[in-house]
């Protein structure tokens, strides 16, 4: 059932990502047209117009980059084509560049069963997104390793952290994160997710996901 849910989610993400990609092309076309218009208008040497056009161009560039990110997050082609390690590396390194943070990534190079790759990638993705949004970290470390028939992962940052004791209930024990749904999916797959954090000392997200021995290394 857990794998069926993952496959349904993947199909929907693929559909949305294609629509987002089409929008990106339209935005990029608008930027090209704007550049042409700006070239013509600047002949009039009006500083106010120059500033306005630069602001518009900057906004469009940012919108294009955000749309590209969204399309990748919805449907990471590298995950499906090359596997877990390259896909995790992409999102961690991109986040590091955006934050100006040092990063370290390690993960098994071999392909794993489809549901495990999906589940682990989404869990790491949510943890890294939380770092980008809330942590103000200068260092991000992601380690994923296959230990026997269990994939063990840790996502650690040295950011501002938070006080777990202030969270009111188990369902809210992962504050301000999009990880809550992923915790349910990991647990539904027989795995576990844990959070360790304290103010000023960063956050550690750890998880374990079982890998079926008869399907290890055989991507679907």
Token pair for 186: 């990991």
Q: State the distance between the two ends of the chain, measured CA to CA, in whole angstroms.
A: 16
Q: Are 191 and 209 in contact (CB under 8 A)?
A: yes
In the 8-state DSSP scheme, what is residue 184? Answer: H
The mean pLDDT value of the chain amounts to 78
Looking at residue 59, its pLDDT comes to 73
What percent of the chain lies above the pLDDT cut of 70? 64
When mean pLDDT is compared across 68-77, 84-93, 120-129, the lowest value belongs to 68-77
Q: Residue 63: CB partners within 8 Å, gap ≥ 6? A: 27
- Residue range 145-164: mean pLDDT, rounded: 93
Looking at residue 143, its pLDDT comes to 98
- For 161-181, give one letter per residue: b (16+ CB within 10 A) or e: bbeeeeeeeeeeebbebebee
């Amino acid at each position: 059932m857990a794998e069926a849910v993952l496959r349904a989610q993947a199909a929907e993400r693929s559909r949305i990502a294609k629509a987002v990609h089409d929008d990106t092309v339209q935005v990029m076309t608008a930027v090209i047209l704007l550049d042409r218009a700006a070239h013509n208008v600047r002949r009039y040497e009006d500083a106010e117009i120059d500033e306005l056009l630069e602001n518009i161009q900057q906004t469009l560039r940012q919108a294009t980059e955000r749309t590209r990110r969204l399309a990748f997050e919805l449907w990471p082609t590298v995950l499906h084509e090359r596997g877990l390690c390259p896909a995790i590396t992409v999102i961690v390194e991109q986040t590091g560049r955006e934050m100006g943070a040092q990063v370290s990534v390690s993960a098994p190079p071999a392909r794993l069963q489809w549901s495990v790759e999906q589940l682990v990638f989404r869990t790491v993705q949510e943890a890294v997104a939380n770092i980008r949004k809330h942590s103000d970290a200068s260092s991000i470390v992601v380690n994923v390793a296959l230990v026997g028939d269990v994939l063990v992962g840790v996502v650690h940052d040295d950011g501002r952290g938070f006080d777990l004791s202030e969270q009111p209930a188990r369902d809210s024990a992962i504050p301000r994160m999009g990880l809550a749904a992923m915790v349910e999916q990991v647990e539904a797959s027989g795995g576990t997710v844990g959070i360790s954090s304290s103010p000023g000392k960063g956050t550690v997200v750890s998880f374990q996901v079982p890998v079926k021995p008869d399907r290890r290394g055989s991507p679907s």
